[in-house]
Structure 1
Amino acid sequence: MDASPTVAEAIAAEIVRAGVARVFGFPGGGGNLDLMDAFGAAGVEFVLARSEGSAALMGCAHAELTGRPAVVVVGSGPGLASVVNGVANAHLDRVPLVVISDRQTDAEAATTGHQLLDQRALLAPVTKWGTTLQSAGAASSMRRALGVASAYPRGPVHLDLPRATAGEPARPGPEPELQPGAVTADLDAIATGLGAAERPLLLIGLEAARGVDQRDVVELVRRLRCPVLTTYKAKGVVPESDGAWAGILSGGELERPLLERADALLGVGLDPVELLTKPWPYEAPFYALREAGLGDEYFAPAASAAGALGELAAQLWRALPERTTGTWTRAEIERCRDGVLPALDIRADHLNAGAVVDIVRRHAPDAIVAVDAGAHMLPVTTTWRVERPGRFLISNGLATMGFAVPAAIAAAALDRDAVVVAFTGDGGLAYNLAELETARRLGVRVVVVVFNDSSLSLIRIKLQATGRPGTSLDLAETDFSALARGFGCEGEIARTPQELSDAMARALAREHSTVLDARLSGLEYGPLLKVIRG
């Protein structure tokens, strides 16, 4: 008679059952080691990151690209504390993430204070649910964790695993009872309101990036004969070569003229966490399709429907009457979409942020792109064109620095034939520079483009706007190309558009990763920020 599986083996079996083939982590010993053995035996790849936070950010990108929950394994004490940033990113970007942390046994905790934290309490504010695993019911708790993480609104959960428990025989426990998400539908009222509008406007948010067929969104646009704004995380839900795509919705000033001219707004998967922190200023009636009923207090919708977003979108376009005319003009759409270009001031005699994006896009127009937080994200998000979902990764709700490189590595590991580009700043790359070794070890190719102006530019602009003097936000010049070579990648410095173009061509010809250290002044960021955000 076969022996009962251990708790670690039972957890691995549930991960396989959920269709998860890759786990990320930075182990700390204890029960983590039992889990790693169990993952290997079950055929689950364990990806060793260089920090817990990077592992969680890799997991976030992996989950967004696969549509399945991601699993991250970390140690106790400092391991758990270091993963908080990545878990907070999953919380605010609505990403299904399961964190399994090592911890002392109760007997150990009673006799020592070494690395002893209330780990459940530490992650509680940024997780949907958490529990301490026991040998009884470990498998059912893992099933519940995967289910809760994937339920609307998606988000992270936390399992604390006492180190002795991981190797104990798993025993049956009560089966989880998952509460189905609330489903409300007022599609008739939404269709009636939109059908009566002369200038409807479609606003696409993060939920649509993973839950809606692009064809259904395009059909909504056709039925409404309206322009479309997408949030950063929804780039590609509508092909950005489509003449109806009017640009980015961020809560800033660039899109305001279009929104003020609309007489009805339809939000599809739009979450208020995606917008700048200010009240919703528009008076046109707002209609909402959402996975979960979040944001009602923010948008105050005239009518809403919550549930499976793809089904709701398909039902809505079928309920809408065919329009024969529309009152939006091509000029209105183009002004919103292209209004940022003059501020970029792309010139051929020196390298600036707009030129960097333009050059990289000419060499790799269909690349999967991961974008870090910082001033450089302004030209990237507004001018990089995306034609389908899953090609643009960004931390938007948390907007954390250090996101781009781990996310790009996760994307490259999923699709080794794709061109993957990480756009980051000199401040952001310093967060997770060691992950270049991870890329080399995994044998994946990522092109890391560093907007290197030796400053925390976005914060410097905000400092200058207050009238405070000082240059404390400037950094010493760093040669990221040399650091890249130290981690087993290639690195090149570019100071002119031609140098960057040549370096980009060489990077794409290599089989391993390259850091392109683009040297620029950053003086264009201030005017660009004013155009986009006001």
Structure 2
Amino acid sequence: MKASDLFVRALEAEGAEYVFAIPGEENLDLLESLRGSKVKLIVTRHEQAAGFMAATYGRLTGHSGVCLSTLGPGATNLVTAAAYAQLGAMPMVMVTGQKPIKSSKQGQFQIIDVVDMMQPLTKFTKTIVSGDNVPAHVREAFRLAEEERPGATHLEFPEDIAREHSTMPVLEPSYTRRPIAEEKAIRQAAEAIAAARKPLLLIGAGANRKLTAKMLREFVAKLGIPTITTQMGKGVIDESGPHFIGNTALSDGDFVHRAIDQADLIINVGHDVVEKPPFFMRPGGAEVVHINFNSAKVDPVYFPQIEVVGDIANSLWQLKERLEPQQHWSFADAHRIRDALQKHIVDGCGDDSFPMRPQCLVQQVRDVMPENGILALDNGMYKIWFARNYPAHSPNSVLLDNALATMGAGLPSAMAAKLVYPDRRVLAICGDGGFMMNSQELETAVRLKQDLVILLLRDDAYGMIKWKQAQMEFHEFGLDFGNPDFVAYAESYGAHGHRVGATAEFKPLLEHCFTEGGVHLIDVPVNYSDNDRILNREIRELARKL
């Protein structure tokens, strides 16, 4: 068959449901092959959005999302999405077109070395130079994208190769099982945990997998060890449970950091160096048990004494079977810190001043969203507020990016989440800065007839950088901008636009948008003037007293 048909057959064998794409001239054979396929083509308005959607699909399902672009400028537009997937451990396969490689007659028009460009951003990048190579290269791209640690892979598919014919068969995915930790390592870790007086469980990005989350919940339920999560570990355990202390939304100085300081042993599950470190090791400090798919990357502030390397869920199961709650464990300090943090979180939630205070907004969003509702956060000041103040009840119910931490991903991520979970409420939360980087995808959401709500938090500035600017005692400069009429802007795409004029209007309006269905954008002015006081000076002062 034609190589482009063989490529699509290989995608089908991998279980690909969607190809998110902006096709170009060099993709036309592949486009024609997709036309008769059960793989659905979703055309976006920017390649970056196609990549964000593919990465989020991979994040939610564990199976590689697929995105497609043309050569040159289309491929370069995938670079940010490649880094987003690679740093965020989201399985994604990128496919880019290319001019004919065997008989090119167009010189260097639009041609750059895409494979070389993708090398530092991916786990695997390759030009397909023969139709006979299609099955093996597609299989390898998917295998590596999904293998721990997941990430991005890339295939360049030149148009003359797409037209070749091949008799090679499609390669079906192989059955694999991840290696499990050695029994001696399990025993050593169990003995250290049992001997500790104030053990603390820290859940990182690498633990945010379905099977891992189930076993972590059983581990915590049996042993009652106080638990903290990083931003990308959020929701792995139910944050309304009695053993959850809080989320490391801030780099340091928060209540949760006091719990870390008081622990004499930290069980660090799914540690990922892409996240800001939630704690720093020091000689003579707390002992650290590293539980992960891979061994620890040692640096001056992270040098765990015990490493349990293998499938995380299996390691936790083995530890759970060996361990029992210990009489000498002391969790009173951790529980006191938890109670103080919860009191601080709800402080000010009843404030009806306008523009809205972020802590009030977060609470009202939580009131409207069901337990299985999904938030897809772009990057901005509000991300800290939601990471810290919004209780998550299940894995990947709060999609935030604390790896690349790019702006512009919120709306495309929400759209992908709605494709994966059409029956769940999905809320995109974007600042006005990040939203305008991919706002054109409103048309895509409307075309897909999605039921989706976009919460646009407007402060007419790059608010997080303004907060940092103030913290560092610089003059306020260079971070303000103007905005369009967002209600009219949404309506111009065929979506519904709304503007909040008082705090009391917000919660009923949000519920109305979900109930009515369709694509809704809500413009909400937000007051970030208390950021420095609450998230810096006040927290540090209160935490010091614990």
Q: TM-score range by the shorter chain?
A: over 0.9
User: 1:373·1:401 contact (CA, 8 Å) conserved in 2?
Assistant: yes
For residue 76 of structure 1, report the CA deviation from its aligned partner: 0.5
| Map of 1:355 onto structure 2 | 360
Deviation string, structure 1 residues 174-227 (Cα, Å, up to 9, x no partner): 989999977653111111111101111001112221153434212322343321
For residue 332 of structure 1, report the CA deviation from its aligned partner: 2.4
Q: Does 1:332 align with 2:333?
A: no
Does 144-153 or 306-315 show the bigger shift? 306-315
Aligned pair count reads 528
| Map of 1:293 onto structure 2 | 295
Query: Aligned partners of 1:231 and 1:109: how far apart in 2?
Result: 50
Q: What fraction of aligned residue pairs are identical, expressed as a percent?
A: 24
Query: Aligned partners of 1:202 and 1:277: how far apart in 2?
Result: 12
Q: Say which of 29, 40, 45 aligns to 2:40.
A: 45
Does 203-212 or 482-491 show the bigger shift? 203-212
Which amino acid is the alignment partner of residue 332 of structure 1? Answer: I
Q: Say which of 4, 8, 21 aligns to 2:4.
A: 8
Query: Aligned partners of 2:464 and 2:77: how far apart in 1?
Result: 25
User: 2:71·2:96 contact (CA, 8 Å) conserved in 1?
Assistant: yes
Query: Aligned partners of 1:148 and 1:119: how far apart in 2?
Result: 19
| Map of 1:474 onto structure 2 | 480
TM-aligned CA distance change 1:43 to 1:116, over 3 Å? same
Structure 2: 5+ residue runs without aligned partners? 541-546
User: 1:49·1:55 contact (CA, 8 Å) conserved in 2?
Assistant: yes
Q: Say which of 380, 404, 411 aligns to 2:410.
A: 404
For residue 260 of structure 1, report the CA deviation from its aligned partner: 0.6
Query: Aligned partners of 1:36 and 1:531: how far apart in 2?
Result: 56
Query: Aligned partners of 1:223 and 1:348: how far apart in 2?
Result: 41
Structure 1: 5+ residue runs without aligned partners? none
For residue 15 of structure 1, report the CA deviation from its aligned partner: 1.8
| Map of 1:122 onto structure 2 | 117
Query: Aligned partners of 1:152 and 1:317: how far apart in 2?
Result: 23
- RMSD, aligned α-carbons: 2.5
Does 312-321 or 120-129 show the bigger shift? 312-321
| Map of 2:65 onto structure 1 | 70
Query: Aligned partners of 2:122 and 2:242: how far apart in 1?
Result: 40
Q: Say which of 12, 18, 26 aligns to 2:14.
A: 18
Which amino acid is the alignment partner of residue 452 of structure 2? Answer: V
Query: Aligned partners of 2:98 and 2:513: how far apart in 1?
Result: 43
Query: Aligned partners of 2:122 and 2:538: how far apart in 1?
Result: 32
User: 1:138·1:170 contact (CA, 8 Å) conserved in 2?
Assistant: no
For residue 447 of structure 1, report the CA deviation from its aligned partner: 0.9
For residue 158 of structure 1, report the CA deviation from its aligned partner: 0.9
Query: Aligned partners of 2:216 and 2:278: how far apart in 1?
Result: 27
Query: For 1:247, what is the secondary structure of its paired residue?
Result: strand
Does 331-340 or 139-148 show the bigger shift? 331-340
Query: For 1:68, what is the secondary structure of its paired residue?
Result: coil
Q: Say which of 141, 146, 152 aligns to 2:148.
A: 152
User: 1:204·1:269 contact (CA, 8 Å) conserved in 2?
Assistant: yes
Q: Say which of 296, 307, 313 aligns to 1:304.
A: 307
User: 1:353·1:524 contact (CA, 8 Å) conserved in 2?
Assistant: no
Q: Does 1:456 align with 2:452?
A: no
Query: For 2:291, what is the secondary structure of its paired residue?
Result: strand
For residue 416 of structure 1, report the CA deviation from its aligned partner: 1.7
For residue 280 of structure 1, report the CA deviation from its aligned partner: 4.6
TM-aligned CA distance change 1:438 to 1:375, over 3 Å? same
Does 8-17 or 417-426 show the bigger shift? 8-17
Query: For 1:137, what is the secondary structure of its paired residue?
Result: helix
Which amino acid is the alignment partner of residue 443 of structure 1? Answer: K
Q: Does 1:135 align with 2:131?
A: yes
Q: Does 1:203 align with 2:232?
A: no
Deviation string, structure 1 residues 309-358 (Cα, Å, up to 9, x no partner): 2112111211223435641123222224554444x665013212222222
User: 1:98·1:146 contact (CA, 8 Å) conserved in 2?
Assistant: yes
User: 2:425·2:452 contact (CA, 8 Å) conserved in 1?
Assistant: yes
User: 1:137·1:171 contact (CA, 8 Å) conserved in 2?
Assistant: no
Normalised by the length of structure 1, the TM-score is 0.93
Deviation string, structure 1 residues 88-141 (Cα, Å, up to 9, x no partner): 011111111111100112256564221111101111111011111121211111
TM-aligned CA distance change 1:532 to 1:321, over 3 Å? farther
TM-aligned CA distance change 1:293 to 1:172, over 3 Å? farther
| Map of 1:382 onto structure 2 | 388
TM-aligned CA distance change 1:110 to 1:339, over 3 Å? farther
TM-aligned CA distance change 1:426 to 1:9, over 3 Å? same
User: 1:269·1:289 contact (CA, 8 Å) conserved in 2?
Assistant: yes
Does 256-265 or 465-474 show the bigger shift? 465-474
Does 122-131 or 333-342 show the bigger shift? 333-342
TM-aligned CA distance change 1:157 to 1:376, over 3 Å? same
Deviation string, structure 1 residues 154-185 (Cα, Å, up to 9, x no partner): 11111011111112113549989999977653
Does 351-360 or 78-87 show the bigger shift? 351-360
Which amino acid is the alignment partner of residue 470 of structure 2? Answer: Q
Which amino acid is the alignment partner of residue 106 of structure 1? Answer: I
For residue 64 of structure 1, report the CA deviation from its aligned partner: 1.2
| Map of 1:508 onto structure 2 | 514
Normalised by the length of structure 2, the TM-score is 0.91
User: 1:93·1:398 contact (CA, 8 Å) conserved in 2?
Assistant: yes
User: 2:56·2:417 contact (CA, 8 Å) conserved in 1?
Assistant: yes
| Map of 2:227 onto structure 1 | 228
Q: Does 1:253 align with 2:256?
A: no
Query: Aligned partners of 1:252 and 1:214: how far apart in 2?
Result: 26
Query: Aligned partners of 1:54 and 1:356: how far apart in 2?
Result: 27
User: 2:86·2:122 contact (CA, 8 Å) conserved in 1?
Assistant: yes
Matches within 5 A, 1:392-431: 392-431=398-437
Query: For 2:235, what is the secondary structure of its paired residue?
Result: coil
Which amino acid is the alignment partner of residue 191 of structure 1? Answer: A
Which amino acid is the alignment partner of residue 58 of structure 1? Answer: M
Query: Aligned partners of 1:277 and 1:124: how far apart in 2?
Result: 30
User: 1:446·1:512 contact (CA, 8 Å) conserved in 2?
Assistant: yes
Which amino acid is the alignment partner of residue 314 of structure 2? Answer: E
Does 272-281 or 78-87 show the bigger shift? 272-281
User: 2:203·2:227 contact (CA, 8 Å) conserved in 1?
Assistant: yes
TM-aligned CA distance change 1:478 to 1:521, over 3 Å? farther
| Map of 2:318 onto structure 1 | 315
User: 2:206·2:271 contact (CA, 8 Å) conserved in 1?
Assistant: yes
Query: For 1:272, what is the secondary structure of its paired residue?
Result: coil
Query: Aligned partners of 1:281 and 1:492: how far apart in 2?
Result: 51
Q: Say which of 270, 284, 289 aligns to 2:286.
A: 284
Query: Aligned partners of 1:124 and 1:532: how far apart in 2?
Result: 45
User: 2:266·2:287 contact (CA, 8 Å) conserved in 1?
Assistant: yes
| Map of 1:80 onto structure 2 | 75
Which amino acid is the alignment partner of residue 258 of structure 1? Answer: A
Does 103-112 or 460-469 show the bigger shift? 103-112
Q: Does 1:97 align with 2:92?
A: yes
Which amino acid is the alignment partner of residue 12 of structure 1? Answer: V
Query: Aligned partners of 2:88 and 2:504: how far apart in 1?
Result: 37
TM-aligned CA distance change 1:336 to 1:288, over 3 Å? farther
User: 1:340·1:531 contact (CA, 8 Å) conserved in 2?
Assistant: no
| Map of 2:192 onto structure 1 | 193
